[in-house]
Chains A and B, each alone.
Chain A
Amino acid sequence: MTPLERRCRWLLRAYPAWYRRDRAWEMLDTLLEASQPGQSWPSLRDARALVTGGLRLRGWTWSLSMLWVVAGIVSTGYTFYLTTRPYTWADYDVGIGIQGWSTDPVAVQTAIVLATVASLALPLPALIAGFIRLRGSRPRRWPRIAAWAGAWIAGFALTYQATVWGNYPCSATAENCPAIPSPAVVSWGELGICAAWVALGAAMTWILAGPAHRWDGPGASRRPSAKPAAGRPVP
């Protein structure tokens, strides 16, 4: 397998599994045929088209949920990083707690603000979008709808737990917290929550697996006589 083929296969993972089963080999063939001899990376145009095509097929619901998951990963990861830093009373802001914001690079601060906004704004739309999406798939899959509600509650619980573990023992006033340990008490629990978010992302992907609308593509309507993908791993 050439490096180009390996990278094309990796890019094709942007498409959902049900679609790849039907189309991946064919698309790989076209991608390789369209490439220049000696080319080892897929072109930027191709990469962009594959990613947008994949996202379009996976649908809004999946994209929203994954944004929520990424926001969860970023904010818990950052909270973990915060607890690894030594801090002093000068870093302590009554009512808010320890913040590392002002001393971090602007890009990091922006990412944190975006992640915070996303994790506040996305859960409800994601929940509703998921119900609408699963309602639309026939026959109705009640176990999946229940699983979706469960995943949402799990995400909510993770967000809550992240704030609890990320809080310093004294978040209300400085008086009831005479000594701040320095270096800080590292909150390994936050890393666990990060891992849980990754798992939750995989679970949500599984729950939403399958076409958002009825699929009338080439493999769906008629079974081709020659089936090259049979018994072979999907790229």
Chain B
Amino acid sequence: MTASSKRPRSGSNSMPTVEIYYLSTYDGYVRTLRTPMREPTYFVLASLLDGPLHGYAIIQRTAELSGSRVRLATGTLYTVLDRLTTEGRVELVREEIVNGRARRSYGLTPSGADALRAEATRMAHAARLVTRQGRNLGADGHSYEMNPA
């Protein structure tokens, strides 16, 4: 009941598919479409750009990329991973056993990479409004002429 599983199938059958949502999940679906990506989500996806990582490596890499601003707790990480897996942005790549415990590595799917790129473009656009040439702040920190009177 997620974005990924609700995409109408294209194929020989060209009948439009009717999607039925329960209210709660529909609300969640609409919300994921409209809201900008949350910061932890963004950094988790960005941490996977260089290849699949396992849980703790994602936490480390996220902290590294964000300059220690995003410090994910284990529970939060798996909440994010669950959501991203359900949305098809991230997938389980391999599973190995370390110290007798499962260690799963997650990788970015093409859809995840797209979403990450779209978000980066959106933020770059927003940033350019402020940082572009000719929009520099004055020496006194004001962006407009102060009235001398």
Interface residues of A (CB under 8 A from B): 23, 25-31, 33-34, 43, 45-46, 48-54, 56, 136, 213-214, 216-218, 222, 224-226, 228-229
Q: For A50, list chain B residues within 8 Å (CB).
A: 73-75
Q: Which of B19-60 touch A at CB < 8 Å?
A: 22, 25, 54-56, 59
Look across to chain B and name the residue whose beta carbon is closest to the beta carbon of A33.
B56
Q: For A28, list chain B residues within 8 Å (CB).
A: 101
Q: Which of B79-106 touch A at CB < 8 Å?
A: 79, 82, 85-86, 91-92, 95-104, 106
Contact B85 A53 (CB under 8 A): no
Q: In the assembly, what is the distance between CA of A225 and CA of B92, in Å? A: 12
Dominant secondary structure of chain B at its interface with chain A: mixed
Contact B73 A23 (CB under 8 A): no
Among B73, B96, B99, find the residue whose CB has the most chain A CB atoms closer than 10 A: B73
Q: In the assembly, what is the distance between CA of A52 and CA of B4, in Å? A: 25
Q: For A23, list chain B residues within 8 Å (CB).
A: 78
Q: In the assembly, what is the distance between CA of A175 and CA of B91, in Å? A: 75
Contact B1 A228 (CB under 8 A): no
Contact of B103 among A29, A53, A225 (CB under 8 A): A29
Q: For A30, list chain B residues within 8 Å (CB).
A: 54-56, 59, 74, 77-78
Chain B interface category by residue count: 20 to 34
Q: In the assembly, what is the distance between CA of A80 and CA of B87, in Å? A: 51
Contact B55 A27 (CB under 8 A): yes
- Contacts A216-B2, A217-B82 given; does A29 touch B75 at CB 8 Å: no
Among B22, B79, B102, find the residue whose CB has the most chain A CB atoms closer than 10 A: B102
Contact B98 A46 (CB under 8 A): no
Q: For B95, list chain A residues within 8 Å (CB).
A: 224-226
Q: For B2, list chain A residues within 8 Å (CB).
A: 216
Contact A29 B55 (CB under 8 A): yes
- Contacts A213-B1, A216-B85 given; does A53 touch B59 at CB 8 Å: no
Look across to chain B and name the residue whose beta carbon is closest to the beta carbon of A22.
B102
Contact B102 A136 (CB under 8 A): no
Cross-chain pairs A/B with CB under 8 angstroms, 29 sampled: A26-B104, A27-B74, A29-B55, A29-B56, A29-B99, A29-B103, A30-B54, A30-B77, A30-B78, A33-B56, A34-B56, A34-B74, A49-B74, A49-B79, A50-B75, A53-B78, A53-B79, A56-B79, A213-B1, A216-B5, A217-B82, A217-B86, A218-B85, A218-B106, A222-B92, A226-B102, A228-B101, A228-B102, A229-B102
